[in-house]
Amino acid sequence: MMDGDILTIEEVAKYLRVSEGTVHEWAQNGEIPAGKIGTLWRFKKQEIEKWVNARLSTQVIEPQYGSIQIENIVSPDRILFLNYAAKRDALQALTDNLAKAPQVKNRQELAQEILKREDLMSTAIGRGIAIPHVRLASITDLVVSVGISRTGIVDFQALDDEPVRLLFMIAAAYNQHAYYLQTLSFFSARLKNRDLRVSLLAAETPQEVYDLLLKTHGA
């Protein structure tokens, strides 16, 4: 069994939802951090995570679907206040909530794939934020569930070691790659605003959180 900190081309391809050939080409061209053990490409988990987060933070994504409209992907009934010390419990609560959305057709698959993605690589991006995300054929349209944790979740293993308290779970249809990346980038960029993070954590109702998120549009 391979060390969990070292990933194969197949594992990286599954995580990034691209073909193994694409990962191989990126490695050959030096576009993704990689090294060779003999003739085989290998990838350090932490370096891939940093690479992904850097791309989410800086990559300009072509607005194939126009700008992100919060009201189309989030609603007050998909905003939860959490109080779990373990990330698995928090992810399960968000998954259960998100599975109630009409866009989600297979609750079990959603739960399995969210946990599988998290086991492969943490979705914590620092500043107390995690953005668990999947694309699935059983999702009909992109939808988001938001968790505001009253407890710092320490086992997300964020790069900055800060406990996670803000969770944005994104589920998209398998053919929504551009929209999916655009949404990830949107939340990653907006949540760099410290005042917004503080306000979200101080919110007392789902409606208050929703109103704060609506104000992020076009910020």
Q: How far apart are CA 185 and CA 171, in angstroms?
A: 14
Three-state DSSP class for residue 129: strand
> How wide is the angle at C-alpha 108 spanned by C-alphas 149 and 22, nearest 5°?
90
**Residues with a known catalytic role:** 133
- Measured between alpha carbons, how far apart are the two ends of the chain, in Å? 46
Q: How far apart are CA 23 and CA 33, in angstroms?
A: 10
Q: How far apart are CA 14 and CA 29, in angstroms?
A: 20
Query: What b/e sequence results for 148-169 when a residue is b if at least 16 CB atoms lie within 10 Å of its CB, and e otherwise?
Result: bbeeebeebebeeeeebbbbbb
